[in-house]
Structure 1
Amino acid sequence: MNARSNRKASVSLTAKELSKKTWSDFEAVLGTNGGARGCWCMHWRLSIEEWTKGKGEGNKQAMKRLAQRKTPPGVVVYDGDDTPVAWCSLGPRSSFPRLERSPLLASVDDEPVCAIACVYVQKEHRDSGLLPAILEAVCDYAASAGYEIAEGYPVEPRDGKRAGADTAMTGIASAFLKAGFSEVARPRGDRPIMRRKVK
């Protein structure tokens, strides 16, 4: 781990709800492509047909509408007060219809969980050891929002291979472990389902 990683891993991050006020920071994190392939973090919220049709600007506007609702679709994570470093899409599993329909990531039980559906780190902050601290900030937010359990669906890259942006959008298993999550199911070799009590 380099000096930059050591510094970043010890930083205390904060999470703020996505809203009109934080929208520009959300855009800064996701970049001009809206994350991977014009997603704008609508992957788990739409059918594949809806997502493909809205790819790019349509998906962006769909997320912008969600950001104006009382219940936020996720949080922007900051290093300090004003440096956005990541985005996390979260909420009840029922907020993510495509996740609910997924045969791979089916519900483990009937526990009400805060589903961490996507964790997207701004490009310039990747490889800096931030992901566990991002998850800590997200769990702090989940607790403040009244959730008792956070649930993640990370990937566990095999054979030392690096996960690309498309496959790593749900996070990396080792970072979840460092943030205090435990595996509760493994529907496929590279896809654990992990939980952490936040209250």
Structure 2
Amino acid sequence: MDTDMGTKGYAVAPLSVDTWGAFAGLVERHNGIFGGCWCTYFHPSCEQRGPGYEGSKAMKKAYVEQGRAHAALVMDGDEAIAWAEFGPPEELPNIHHRKQYDAEADLVPDYRITCIFVDKRHRRSGCAKLALAGALDLIAAEGGGVVEGYPHEIGEKRMSNSFVYNGTRTMYEEAGFEFIRPKGLRNTVMRRVVDPA
């Protein structure tokens, strides 16, 4: 399923076995993302996971093959240039500041958006917003529900992209999310309901 994303010619496609090569290309262009993570941090721990970059890559690929890893890929032709990882809490149980989050939780969402990443060649061009919108569209296609995101509060001081791994509060507000509470020093809990498509 591709979703047309406007005049730039970008489209959104779900992460799947068919799009694994495009996803892998994006990750490999950035040396595994955040020190070889391959966007595995938020998944459950895996005892069979091998060490380092290759271990994370193999684990992520296995999750994709098993249908246990979801993301919206922003595509420029055949090349993935951004993504937004999403999934139900059982698929993505590991979030930053989890002890505080669990202590203050008022409900369990149907979906979480845990990571947004944009190719360094395409930053500041709206691709993070496209990835977030694509994730919401894919969630709607799966039946919708309560969706949480954990974006960052950014003050006047610029933060490194490696710290803004889930976008900003402003971006989420523009996408219809409501601020629920702070989480940690500069993270937030934000929430919206996505209607089924």
Q: How would you bin the TM-score normalised by the shorter chain?
A: 0.7 to 0.9
Aligned residue in 1 for 2:110: 113
Q: How does 1:117-156 map to 2 (within 5 A)?
A: 117-156=114-153
Q: How many residues align?
A: 189
Secondary structure in structure 2 of the residue aligned to 1:41: coil
Aligned partners of 1:43, 1:59: CA distance in 2, in Å? Answer: 9
Q: Percent identity?
A: 29
Tell me by how many angstroms 1:11 deviates. Answer: 5.1
Q: Which structure 2 residue ranges, 5 or more long, are not aligned? A: none
Aligned residue in 1 for 2:19: 22
1:166 to 162, 165, 170: 162
Tell me by how many angstroms 1:10 deviates. Answer: 6.9
Aligned residue in 1 for 2:94: 98
User: Contact 1:93 / 1:99 at 8 angstroms: preserved in 2?
Assistant: no
One-letter identity of the residue aligned with 2:134 = A
Q: Which structure 1 residue ranges, 5 or more long, are not aligned? A: 1-7
1:26-71: CA deviation from partner (whole Å, max 9, x where unpaired)? 12222251111000001112559998x7321100110000110134
The structure with higher relative contact order (CA 8 Å, sep 6+) is 1
Tell me by how many angstroms 1:113 deviates. Answer: 2.2
Tell me by how many angstroms 1:76 deviates. Answer: 1.6
Aligned partners of 1:150, 1:124: CA distance in 2, in Å? Answer: 29
Q: Is the alpha carbon distance of 1:89 and 1:156 closer, same or farther for their aligned partners in structure 2, counting shifts above 3 Å? A: same
Aligned residue in 1 for 2:36: 38
Aligned partners of 1:49, 1:155: CA distance in 2, in Å? Answer: 31
One-letter identity of the residue aligned with 1:19 = S
One-letter identity of the residue aligned with 2:116 = V
1:112-160: CA deviation from partner (whole Å, max 9, x where unpaired)? 32100111111111111332232111111111012212210011123x2
Q: Is the alpha carbon distance of 1:88 and 1:196 closer, same or farther for their aligned partners in structure 2, counting shifts above 3 Å? A: same
Secondary structure in structure 1 of the residue aligned to 2:94: helix
Q: Is the alpha carbon distance of 1:135 and 1:192 closer, same or farther for their aligned partners in structure 2, counting shifts above 3 Å? A: same
Aligned residue in 1 for 2:63: 66
The Cα RMSD (Å) is: 2.9
Q: Is the alpha carbon distance of 1:17 and 1:124 closer, same or farther for their aligned partners in structure 2, counting shifts above 3 Å? A: same
Q: Is the alpha carbon distance of 1:14 and 1:185 closer, same or farther for their aligned partners in structure 2, counting shifts above 3 Å? A: farther
Secondary structure in structure 2 of the residue aligned to 1:168: coil
One-letter identity of the residue aligned with 1:28 = G
TM-score norm. by structure 1 comes to 0.81
Aligned residue in 2 for 1:57: 54
Aligned partners of 2:66, 2:97: CA distance in 1, in Å? Answer: 24
Name the structure where helix makes up a greater proportion of residues.
1
Secondary structure in structure 2 of the residue aligned to 1:67: helix
One-letter identity of the residue aligned with 2:154 = P
